[in-house]
Amino acid sequence: MLVEFTGISRMLTGKMEHQLPLADGAVMMDVVRAIGRKFPPLIGEVIEKDGETLIPTNLFSINGKQILNEKQLHYQPKDGDRLILLSLLAGG
């Protein structure tokens, strides 16, 4: 599974993308856990401190076509999907 980092997640990981090995039947929560373990600076900034869920201002886009928010972490990505991690931050 290819995870693309944008915005703050790109700054924190120092990567544009990461190929993430996932087991059959994995869901988005497994993706969040795996990238949190691989890139600990994401914890508390993009991923909640529990390491299991996204902070509400962050979400995934599936192939740039479908948006999943922090409450849809039971979605099962398909082989070949590109998961784009987006941060929705507002300035003043």
User: pLDDT tens digit string along 5-37?
Assistant: 999 999 999 999 999 988 889 999 999 999 999
Burial 37-55 (b: 16+ CB within 10 A, else e): eebeebbeebbbeebebbb
pLDDT > 70 fraction of the chain, expressed in percent and rounded: 95
Q: Pick the more confident residue, 68 or 91.
A: 68
pTM for this one?
0.89
How many residues make up the chain in this entry? 92
Q: What is the pLDDT of residues 36-62, one digit of tens each?
A: 999 999 999 999 999 989 998 999 999
